[in-house]
Structure 1
Amino acid sequence: MDMPIRSTGDVKVGELTNALGFLLRLAQLQSFDDFFSGNGPRGVKPGEFSVLWVIGQNPGIRQSVLGQRLMIKRAHMTKLIRAFEDNGLVSRRIPDEDRRAVELTLTAKGEGEIARTAPGFFAYEEKSGAPLTSKERSQLVSLLRKFVGIEEEDRP
């Protein structure tokens, strides 16, 4: 008779140890768990910060392009942008040449929110990734960028 499994370290996952999707999902869950455990910056959610950050980097970006780039479903993007607008963080503009499009820009309040939260967010991201060494973390980031098709951009 097999012994009952009493700890997560005893759970066998077999061939899943080589399944990229499985490993990426566990890594995401572990990363979010650490972020929300108190180790991450306060008052900011990673997804919301990412959307505001990208709008700030691309003033006037079309909402549809932003959603596609960040792989956010249209309905969720609409709800998120509406909440940002209601909170005075983002302004929306409908261009005359394409009445179906929506262009997004951070408001002064949105720029202030990014200025306030970005240092903590990026400082957390720089130190996340334990138990990897700094070199291993850089290698993983580089490989993930390649995997998802994001070119390394020049930093200001």
Structure 2
Amino acid sequence: MREAATMDVTTRTASPVAVGELGQSLGFLLRLAQLQSFEDFFSAHGPQGLKPGEFSVLFVIHRNPGIRQSALGQRLMIKRAHMTKLIRAFEDRGLVSRRIPDEDRRAIELTLTDAGIAALDTASGAFFAYEETTGAPLTLIERDRLVALLRKFTGIDEVAG
């Protein structure tokens, strides 16, 4: 068992709070990092418009025209019911079109509409500019290393295209 460590968490708090062994927990630290990133994203300094999850879904559809809704949900780890609701909302906003292929009537293929591409283009500039600052406490080398480790941890391998 690891030696009990005391870690002070001062980010976003008025005074230090000891978290003990939680400071060595990968899951705990990933969750705090996600919450901090989302808080920054939704602040006045972050991009306005699409939520991070919405942006991610549209971005992946754009990179994979005709992607099956089930494959998209699996890759982004979005539950089927939530994915269905999200895609319907995108369709209602005119951002995504759905197609049922003749060879598999149970499948749904997704493509961005012209309005979806325009919304993504608008959001992409702000999103990726924001991404440049989200790792501000880290050096560029540290940020690149963290991204590489998280890609390894999550199993994300870039597919050509």
The alignment's TM-score, normalised by the length of structure 1, stands at 0.91
Instruction: Look up the SS of the partner of 1:39 in the other structure.
Output: coil
CA drift at 1:130: 2.0
| Counterpart among 27, 30, 33 of residue 24 in structure 1 | 30
Distance in 2, Cα, partners of 1:10 & 1:105: 48
Distance in 2, Cα, partners of 1:23 & 1:130: 17
CA drift at 1:57: 0.4
| Structure 1 residue identity aligned to 2:29 | L
The alignment's TM-score, normalised by the length of structure 2, stands at 0.88
Distance in 2, Cα, partners of 1:8 & 1:25: 20
Distance in 2, Cα, partners of 1:55 & 1:153: 13
Equivalent residues in 2 for 1:113-152 (5 A)? 113-152=119-158
| Counterpart among 11, 14, 17 of residue 11 in structure 1 | 17
| Structure 2 residue identity aligned to 1:139 | R
Q: Give RMSD over aligned pairs.
A: 1.4
Identity of aligned residues (%): 71
What is the aligned partner in structure 2 of residue 4 from structure 1? none
Instruction: Look up the SS of the partner of 2:48 in the other structure.
Output: coil
Question: In the TM superposition, what whole-angstrom CA distance separates every residue of 1:59-93 from its partner, at most 9, and x where no partner exists?
Answer: 00000000000000000000000000000000000
What is the aligned partner in structure 2 of residue 53 from structure 1? 59
Name the structure with the higher helix share: 1
Of stretches 8-17 and 116-125 in structure 1, the one that deviates more from structure 2 is 8-17
Q: Is the 8 A contact 1:145 1:152 kept in 2?
A: no
| Structure 2 residue identity aligned to 1:51 | V
What is the aligned partner in structure 1 of residue 78 from structure 2? 72
Unaligned runs of 5+ in 2: 1-12
| Counterpart among 118, 125, 134 of residue 112 in structure 1 | 118
Question: In the TM superposition, what whole-angstrom CA distance separates every residue of 1:102-152 from its partner, at most 9, and x where no partner exists?
Answer: 000001111111111111111111221121111111111111001000124
Distance in 2, Cα, partners of 1:8 & 1:24: 22
Unaligned runs of 5+ in 1: 1-6
